[in-house]
Amino acid sequence: MANTTVKLLLVDDNPMVLGMLRGALTPLANVTTSNDSADALLKAVDDPPDLLVSDYRMPGMDGHQLVEKLKSRPKTAGISVILLASKADITEKLSNHEPVDDFVEKPFFLKEATQRIKRVIDKIALEKMAKTAPSDGVLRGSLSQMNVIDLVQSLEMGRKSCALTLTNGKDKCEMYFIEGQVTHAAYGSLTGDAAVFKVLSWAAGNFQINFESKTSQQTTTLNTQGLLMEGLRMLDESKRDEGGSAAEEEDEKEHFPSSRRKSLPTINPPSRNPYCASRRMRALLSPPAERESLNAMLRLKPPKQSVIACSKVLPSVCELKARRRRLSPRSAAQSAAYVGSH
């Protein structure tokens, strides 16, 4: 859902880049576009945006000159700025002189550029919400509008000192910030880094930000960026493990229909060990009598002996395929070589 409270002016003389960024940013803000700096200056003066995202190198007036003109006018001096520029331009010309909030290095991946711009959009949205907060000074909102990661990043970028309270059903977590850094967090019996990691995945619930609340406790060991990076790494690993298990189940269902799976012999205990996987595959490909012989050996002998015994009793995979398809061993070997060569 677009954040219509944040107005974004997007400027780039390349129509393809302009179109791609507009498509990616439209769900995040109220986007207006321009393909040259002169037109962008007129639009910004007429209706000042909250955020300017502009290319640096453009014909005529470049991004640097556009920012200078906007910052020199009281009406547009408070506009946040993100410049799109090459690494050389950022290092040599822009990093120490431009009054900008962030840079996006060109060339860029669209997803990464969108994430960097979104961080500034979220910070602006949070500042606007804070200005309209009730008289008690507590800012309230829903995590469906801004999730935990976006909230923490916005508070860090704005260098805020406050207490962030998150609720999701009966669960509650409190984080305390000083100058944008998380100093203390508590979630049930968990405190510090572990409490932060526990709630980073929350996408439902509510939040409260109290800019008057403070604490002297110091329970976290990582800075805010470190907490986010480590928490995201843990989330990625968790999703990858879940995805791997689901993929294995789908693969088994695809290759072995349920009627056949019920009739196949079970080799216990299941294992991801390659030797065990090899024995299982041989058992599935072997005729019933040889499968029974294999099962007997696996029940009575240790794994190493079982593997050796299997190699003596069972024919090769090519010979098994030949037997199944009523081909000669030589034809099967030739077929295997052909597939391997491609």
| Residues 99, 192 share a domain | no
| Residues 119, 44 share a domain | yes
| Residues 100, 19 share a domain | yes
| Residues 65, 34 share a domain | yes
Structure tokens at 115: 């994430």
Q: What letter would DSSP give residue 94?
A: I
CA proximity to 140, closest of 63, 208, 44, 85: 208
**Does pTM top 0.75 for this prediction?**
no
Q: Residue 250's pLDDT is what?
A: 60
Show which of 70, 98, 126 is a domain's final residue. Answer: 126
| Residues 197, 162 share a domain | yes
Tell me whether residue 84 is in a domain.
Answer: yes
For residue range 49-85, what is the model confidence (pLDDT) as tens digits? 999 999 988 888 888 888 889 988 888 888 999 999 8
Structure tokens at 256: 């072995």
Structural domain of 41: 7-126
Q: Return the CATH number at 57.
A: 3.40.50.2300
pLDDT digit string (tens) for the chain, length 342 residues: 445 689 999 999 999 999 999 999 999 899 999 998 899 999 999 999 999 999 988 888 888 888 889 988 888 888 999 999 888 887 776 666 667 888 888 888 999 999 899 989 988 888 887 777 666 678 888 888 788 988 898 888 888 899 999 999 899 999 999 999 999 999 999 999 999 999 998 888 999 998 888 888 999 999 998 999 998 888 888 877 776 655 555 655 555 555 544 444 444 444 444 444 444 444 444 455 554 554 555 444 444 444 444 444 445 555 555 555 554 444 444 444 333 333
Distance, in Å, from the CA atom of 56 to the CA atom of 84, rounded to the nearest integer, reads 6
Tell me whether residue 83 is in a domain.
Answer: yes
| Residues 219, 169 share a domain | yes
Tell me whether residue 163 is in a domain.
Answer: yes
Count how many domains the chain has: 3
Tell me whether residue 261 is in a domain.
Answer: yes
| Residues 118, 14 share a domain | yes
Show which of 63, 95, 126 is a domain's final residue. Answer: 126
| Residues 33, 122 share a domain | yes
